[in-house]
């Protein structure tokens, strides 16, 4: 019988599947296999609960942008969180935010080190091969003893789902493992009775793997953001004509800038940049163009993210010209559906060219990025890679600080 909440059918997802998105999802790839597992798990949960929405998986959401309203709602309403843990899961900011966003809804565990009942991990790879962050390492994440086939514990679910096609034994083992996981999910939902919650926003969801990702990232990428009007100094006035649609594309803080905003898309560009950097295996350090509160980090690969309207403020243009003496890759979101930007296009381009002439000439720079997809899939990744290449060419090298225990070699015979 279908469950009801306050006289209406309960449309909350029974479980939320969290996994590390793969860049490519060809047939037979890990991404498509996760989809197959999700369908199998969802089928069992539906049979065991008659849930209207047995499960949620964000398979169709783009990799490199903050999540959609649909995902935010599902994460805030689901009963059980099911992380599919593989080698890259804890390296993704997206996964850390999904786990952190769900964990916010839980009451603190009465027993330190006990995994909350509403979280049912799936080991895509063997537990012993996964390096867990300290933020979850203390939790009892190991598969319950005796509940699963030994092959699941020793090899992980990925091995079972791959081998099931050719070996009858593994087909049975995979079926048993998924059924057991479904039973754990159903039991978790019944025991915890997690109440319905509001949507979980990308910007407010804590990334519980942030420290781990910063420590294991290949590079720390600094993103310096110049977004009109958040960079206008006190008392300064923009060049005429001023930006008219402030309330639509900007907020009160740097992170609220949405240059590609439309009725169906409110993606925050800074969040999109951070997601791209995380996808590339790096850690993002984002700061405004000029913020004395934020201490300058150690030398690191740096990308400029510049609003085409920003150089219209003389004080900001001066700061950009100072940066341009040592050019950096620059990316300029240029929304061609924004009538105001199109109308003022020649003037904006002229201001940009005067402030960032050398930076815009770099191979990795993009002076006009017309869409969010171009930003996340092509232009911003290219700028990041260019920044790393330039950094490696100029980064200081450090010789050993201790002298060699061997004396200076000599061909002269000792006397």
Pick one of 2.40.50, 1.10.540, 3.40.50, 3.30.70 as the CATH number of 10-192: 3.40.50
Q: Which among 312, 329, 328, 331 has a CA at the least distance from the CA of 369?
A: 331
Question: pLDDT tier at 291 (50, 70, 90 boundaries)?
Answer: low
Please give the residue that has the higher pLDDT: either 249 or 102: 102
Average pLDDT of the chain, as a whole number: 82
Please give the residue that has the higher pLDDT: either 30 or 215: 215
Question: pLDDT tier at 263 (50, 70, 90 boundaries)?
Answer: confident
Instruction: Note the pLDDT of residue 110.
Output: 43
Please give the residue that has the higher pLDDT: either 27 or 149: 149
Q: Which among 166, 99, 84 has a CA at the least distance from the CA of 130?
A: 84
> For residue 4, what are the β-bridge partners?
9
Q: Which among 31, 347, 269, 283 has a CA at the least distance from the CA of 161?
A: 31
Tens-digit pLDDT profile for residues 220-255: 899 999 987 655 555 555 544 556 566 678 877 788
Q: Residue ranges of the domains in the chain?
A: 10-192, 217-394
CATH architecture observed for domain 217-394 = 3-Layer(aba) Sandwich (3.40)
Separation CA 189–CA 148 (nearest Å) = 20
Most confident of 29-38, 224-233, 235-244, 349-358: 349-358
Let me know if the fold of 10-192 is the same as that of 217-394: yes
Instruction: Note the pLDDT of residue 166.
Output: 72
Tens-digit pLDDT profile for residues 161-215: 988 877 788 899 999 999 999 999 999 999 988 888 999 988 789 999 988 877 7
């Amino acid at each position: 019988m279908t469950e009801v909440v306050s006289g209406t059918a309960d449309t909350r997802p029974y479980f939320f599947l969290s996994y590390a998105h793969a860049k490519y999802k060809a047939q037979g790839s890990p991404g498509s296999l996760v989809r197959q597992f999700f369908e199998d798990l969802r089928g069992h949960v539906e049979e065991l609960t008659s849930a209207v929405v047995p499960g949620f998986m964000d398979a169709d959401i783009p990799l490199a942008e903050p999540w959609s309203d649909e995902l935010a709602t599902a994460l805030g309403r689901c009963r059980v969180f099911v992380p599919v843990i593989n080698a890259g899961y804890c390296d993704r900011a997206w996964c850390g935010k999904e786990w952190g966003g769900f964990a916010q809804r839980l009451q603190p565990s009465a027993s330190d080190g006990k995994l909350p009942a509403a979280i049912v991990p799936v080991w895509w790879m063997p537990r012993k091969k996964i390096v867990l962050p300290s933020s979850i390492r203390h939790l009892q994440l190991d598969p319950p003893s005796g509940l699963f086939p030994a092959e699941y514990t020793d090899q992980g679910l990925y091995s079972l789902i791959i081998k099931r096609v050719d070996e009858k034994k593994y087909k049975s083992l995979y079926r048993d493992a998924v059924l057991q996981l479904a039973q754990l999910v159903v039991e978790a939902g019944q025991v915890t009775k997690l109440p319905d919650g509001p949507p979980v926003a990308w910007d407010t969801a804590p990334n519980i793997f942030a420290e781990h990702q910063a420590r294991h990232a290949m590079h720390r990428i600094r993103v310096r953001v110049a977004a009109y009007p958040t960079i206008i100094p006190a008392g300064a006035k923009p060049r005429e004509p001023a930006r008219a649609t402030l309330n639509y594309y900007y907020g009160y803080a740097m992170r609220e800038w949405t240059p590609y905003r439309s009725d169906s898309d409110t993606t925050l560009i800074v969040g999109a940049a951070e997601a791209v950097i995380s996808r590339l295996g790096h850690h993002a350090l984002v700061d405004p163009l000029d913020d004395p509160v934020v201490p300058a980090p150690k030398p690191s690969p740096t990308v400029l993210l510049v609003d085409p309207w920003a150089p219209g403020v003389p004080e900001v243009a001066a700061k950009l010209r100072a940066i341009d003496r040592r050019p950096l890759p620059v990316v300029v979101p240029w929304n061609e559906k924004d009538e105001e930007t199109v109308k003022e296009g020649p003037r904006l381009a002229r201001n940009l060219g005067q402030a960032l002439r050398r930076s815009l000439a770099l191979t990795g720079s993009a002076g006009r990025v017309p869409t969010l997809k171009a930003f996340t899939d092509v232009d911003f990744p290219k700028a990041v890679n260019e920044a790393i290449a330039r950094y490696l060419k100029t980064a200081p090298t450090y010789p050993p600080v201790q002298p060699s225990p061997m004396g200076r070699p000599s061909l002269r015979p000792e006397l």
